[in-house]
Amino acid sequence: MNSLRGRHFLSLQDFTPTEIAALLHFAGELKQRQKKGESHPLLAGKTLGMIFQKPSTRTRVSFEVGMWQLGGYALFLSSQELQMGRGEPIKDTAAVLSRYVDGIMIRTFNHSEVEELAFYASVPVINGLTDLLHPCQALADLLTVEERLGKLAGLKLAYTGDGNNVAHSLLLGCSKMGMNIAVAGPRPYWPLPEITAKARENAAASGGSVLITEDPLEAVKEADVIYTDVWASMGKEAEKMERKKIFAPYQVNDNLVKAARPGALVMHCLPAYRGEEITTEVLEGEQSVVPEQAENRLHAQKSLMALLMG
C-alpha cells in the first residue's frame, strides 16, 4: 500500500525517516530501470502543472524529463502566463488547476504561497523551491550521499556559507535521517532559529546532531561530506559584492577540503560561481560528486511524483 499517494511535498519535515527512506529507495530503483533502458510508465496519462515564478535550469528540465520518462506530461506555466501574476487569488488558481492536472509543482519566492496553494488544491503540490526551503534538492542530495557512502545515519555533512533555503532543507533532511550536520557561516547569516530548533528535535530522535558555528574548520572536522551554495541567492543579487567579502573565509578550497576526512565528498547544488564559494579545482576535482548530485534531481523527483501522484 502506497501511504504517500495524494500527499503534498512542501518540506522534508512533514515526512518520517521511514517515508524518506522509501522515497530514496524507490528513486534508486527508478534510476536503475532508466539506466537499463526499461520503460516505467507509472504516470501514463497523468499531467503535472509546473508553476515557475523563479527561473530555473535543473528544476524545469528534471521535472519535465521525469514526467516524460514516467509516461506523463509536464505543462510549463510561467508567472507571465498565469492569472496569479495579475492578482488572481491563489485559492482560485489551486481550485481550477486541480480540475485540470494530477499534480502541481511550484517554484516561487514566498513559502506561504506554496502552503496556501497546497491548502486549497485537491491534487498533490510539490515545493520546487521557495526562499525558505528547497526539499527536492535535499532529497537528491541524500540520495547521492547514500549511493556513494552506502548509508546516511552516522555520517557527517558540513555546509559552509549562507544559511539559505538549501541549508534549511539539509538541516531538516540530515537530522531526520540520523546524520550529523554542521553549518558554518557568519552569525548574521545563520539558518533561521526555528529551522535549527526543528533540526535539533529531529536529531534527538534519530541519533544525529546539529552544530551551527562561525568556524568553517570546526564544521568540516571529521566531515564525510562538504557542501556549499552560492553566497547570494536569487533575490539577493544587490548584496553580492558585500557578501563576497563577508563570506570569503567560507570558500570551499583545497585547504578546507584537507581539513575534512580523507576522500570527503564535495557537493554543490548549482549554479556555482567558481572562485567565489568554491574553487574550480575543487568543483572539478576527484572528490566532487556535483554532476551526480544534479542528475539525482531527476531520479529523486521521479520517485516523488510516482509515489505522490500514482
Q: How far apart are CA 222 and CA 225, in angstroms?
A: 9
Active-site residue, selected from the candidate residues 7, 8, 58, 107: 107
The active-site residue out of 8, 111, 134, 268 is 134
pLDDT value of residue 79 = 76
Q: How far apart are CA 2 and CA 7, in angstroms?
A: 11
Convert the pLDDT of each residue in 206-215 to its tens digit: 999 999 999 9
Contact between 11 and 135 under an 8 Å Cβ cutoff? The reply is yes
> 110 with 159, same domain?
no
How many Å apart are CA 185 and CA 215, to the nearest integer? 7
Angle at the Cα of 13 from the Cα atoms of 157 and 24, rounded to 5 degrees: 65
Calculate mean pLDDT across residues 129-141. 98
Least confident stretch, 53-57, 253-257, 278-282: 53-57
Residue 226 shares a structural domain with residue 169:
yes
Catalytic residue among 13, 53, 69, 137: 137
Domain that holds residue 237: 137-293
How much is the CA Rg of the chain, to the nearest whole Å?
19
- 124-147: average pLDDT: 98
- Look at residue 117 and tell me if it is in a domain: yes
Residue 63 sits in the same domain as residue 151? no
Q: Is residue 304 part of a domain?
A: yes
Active site residue 269: yes
First to last CA, the chain: 12
The CATH number of residue 89's host domain is 3.40.50.1370
134 is an active site residue: yes
- 203 plus 117 within the same structural domain: no
Q: Is residue 35 part of a domain?
A: yes
pTM of the model: 0.97
The single residue of 7, 168, 297, 299 carrying the catalytic annotation is: 297
Arithmetic mean of pLDDT over the chain: 96
DSSP structural state of residue 192: P
Looking at the fold, whether 71 and 143 belong to one and the same domain comes out as: no
Query: Is-cis flag, bond preceding 193, omega within 30?
Result: no
User: What average pLDDT does range 6-24 have in this prediction?
Assistant: 98
In the numeric block, which cell numbers belong to residue 215?
Answer: 568556524
One domain, residues 92 and 126: yes
Per-residue model confidence (pLDDT) at position 2 = 79
- Would you state the pLDDT for residue 134? 98
Which listed residue (224, 269, 293, 299) is catalytic?
269
Q: Do 122 and 142 fall within a single domain?
A: no
Q: Which residues contact 299 (CB under 8 A, 6 or more apart)?
A: 27, 28, 30, 31, 34, 140, 143
Q: Is residue 282 located within the same domain as residue 305?
A: no
